[in-house]
Structure 1
Amino acid sequence: MRKRILITGASSGLGEEMARQFAVKGHDLALCARRVERLEALKNEIAENYPNVKVSLKALDVNDHDAVFRVFNEFKDEFGGLDRVIVNAGMGKGGSLGTGLFKYNKLTAETNFIAALAQCEAALEIFRAQNAGHLVTISSISALRGMPRALGAYAASKAALVNLTEGIRADMLRSGTPIAVSCIMPGFIRSEINEKVKNTPFMCDTVPGVKAMVQAIDKEKKIAYVPGWPWRPLAFLIKRLPLKIVMKMG
């Protein structure tokens, strides 16, 4: 059992619900995000329902890369090691290129890829020293193809994260290091990042959607499209359908 789990971006959305569901399973949790007051409320909720679960909180803006390394190591010292790190923090602001939204597209790219790179680096330094651990990155089904409008920079950054994760897995295989590496690619799961999106096909509610994510993480799948239905068959089609059809999902 990967007892000690660190989750970034745990103050809302998928990260917050993952924390709840891992608490049900008895995991100790190292939770970080920018909004500490929301983390405090989550910690109190978990403490009330699962008093035997240890929960530690730290403020973290993942775009502060020095802070990523510092916070991960502080958690490692506090817990006596880390068994799993879930690189979950992300954002989806932006719009069509050339429409004056560069600063938002840039921030999305930096948060979803450069900051994720920092988190992977920090996690793997700890795992390599332990010679054990499970690195999990949270990408998106949108990473499979280029997407229009607000999904443009988002999908590109998540595609970069998929490739980064695969490269890390290849590195672990090449070196024979016993570190598991997983990339989770959720379909449309209702969360704070998409709460204003209407009429999206196959949108799944937060709790069942995250349940599928947690199951895939615990199975340590290399790549998982979740929920499996309809996203596993849809992933096969998305990679092959004409762009005119795929772009209607954006």
Structure 2
Amino acid sequence: MNYIEHIGKYFMMLRQVFTKPQKARVFREALSREIEELGLKSLGIIMFISFFIGGVIAMQTALNLDNPLIPKTLIGFAAKRSIILEFAPTFCSIILAGKVGSYITSSIGTMRVTEQIDALEVMGINSLNYLVLPKIIATVFFYPFLITLGMMLGILGGWVAGNLSGLFSGVDYIEGIQTDFKPFLVQYAIIKTLVFAFLIATVPSYHGYYVKGGSLEVGKASTQSVVWTIVLIVIANYFLTQMLLT
């Protein structure tokens, strides 16, 4: 199957996904379960990585701005821009693509190879709507909160790193963060996050839903879905940056 056929099949899948759920109570239960699996269980890794990567960004910025003529406030300014514009929305989404994407593909793929999806369709249930729509809603609505938390912890990590390392003072760092703050940059990061969250939910679902074979093929589909999700995130990041910031 060539790329054009995959794209067409992907959009045909989305047409079946975005239909009205057949049973509201069952849908709400599935949604709460997906919020826990895809969102709440990702909090720990995002908080940990954001805090320490924020510290690394601030320290590397300080080490590269060692000219005495350059104000120390530029460290906080540069770290803030790096974290908000690229690290939090893009880098964290790539991490989530690996963690969440493999989970989605393996869970749906296992249902496919064990014929559970066939059983749902025999019962007259729209399996794509039942399995994929809660995942899309859970990621699209929860990940902006996750990425916003990553931004704040990244900036906090930079402040802690400066105080512990002595490379710059916390006062200069906070002043740099407050310098030339543009709310649109946060909006830009959230817009990117929404697009990335949609890709993280749908691309792995596509690979899992249409997998054929047994457990070995499910494992291969999980790897393939993570790779393609990351590739699409990088491509989308380029075009979104060009459309929104230029």
* TM-score by shorter chain over 0.5: no
- Structure with the higher fraction of residues in helix conformation: 2
Normalising by the residue count of structure 1, what TM-score does the alignment of the two structures yield? 0.28
Normalising by the residue count of structure 2, what TM-score does the alignment of the two structures yield? 0.29
Larger radius of gyration: 2
More contact order relative to length (CA 8 Å, sep ≥ 6): 2
